Amino acid sequence: MNAKEIMRSAVHVAKPNDTVHDIVIRLGQEKVSGLPVVDEVGSIIGVITEADLLRAYKENRSHESVDQLMTKNVISVTEDAELHDIVDLFLEKGIRRVFVAEDGNLRGVISRRDLVLCSQISKQVSEFSRQLCPGT
C-alpha cells in the first residue's frame, strides 16, 4: 500500500498572509490540528499547527501572520511512498501528519489517524477473507 492509496486529497490550506484569527477559525471548522501553508502556485512552504498558535500566544506574537509563525521544515513524502516507510517516519519524527507532494506541489495529507484506520480496515478485510476462504 502506498501514500496515494491512503492520502486524503481534499486538503484545506493556509496562505502565508493569513492571520492567527483566520487559522483558529479554520482549524475549528475543519476539525484538524494543523494546515499546510502553500504559496500562490500550490507549493508547500510550511505548516501551521496548534502548537505554533500556542507558542505565538505565549510569546505575545498572535498579531503576526502565518508566514512568521509557521514551521518551515515540512516533512513530506511522494505518492509512491510505501505504508511501512510512512509509519516509520511518524514514529521516528514524532509527527501528526505528513504531506504528500510531487515536485513540491501539495497532492494530499496523511494523518496518524488515517494510518490507524487504514491498518484496522486492512486487518478486518484480511480476517473476513480468511473466514470466506479458509486455507488460503
pLDDT tens for 112-135 read 888 888 765 555 555 655 666 666
Reported as type and span, the H/E element at residue 36 is strand 34-38
Asked if residue 119 belongs to a domain, the reply is no
Q: pTM, whole model, 2 decimals?
A: 0.79
Asked if residue 43 belongs to a domain, the reply is yes
CB 99 within 8 A of CB 36: yes
Structural domain count, the chain: 1
Per-residue pLDDT, averaged over 73-92, amounts to 92
CATH number, domain of 19, equals 3.10.580.10
What pLDDT score was predicted for residue 89? 93
123 exposure class (CB count in 10 Å sphere: 0-12, 13-18, 19+): exposed
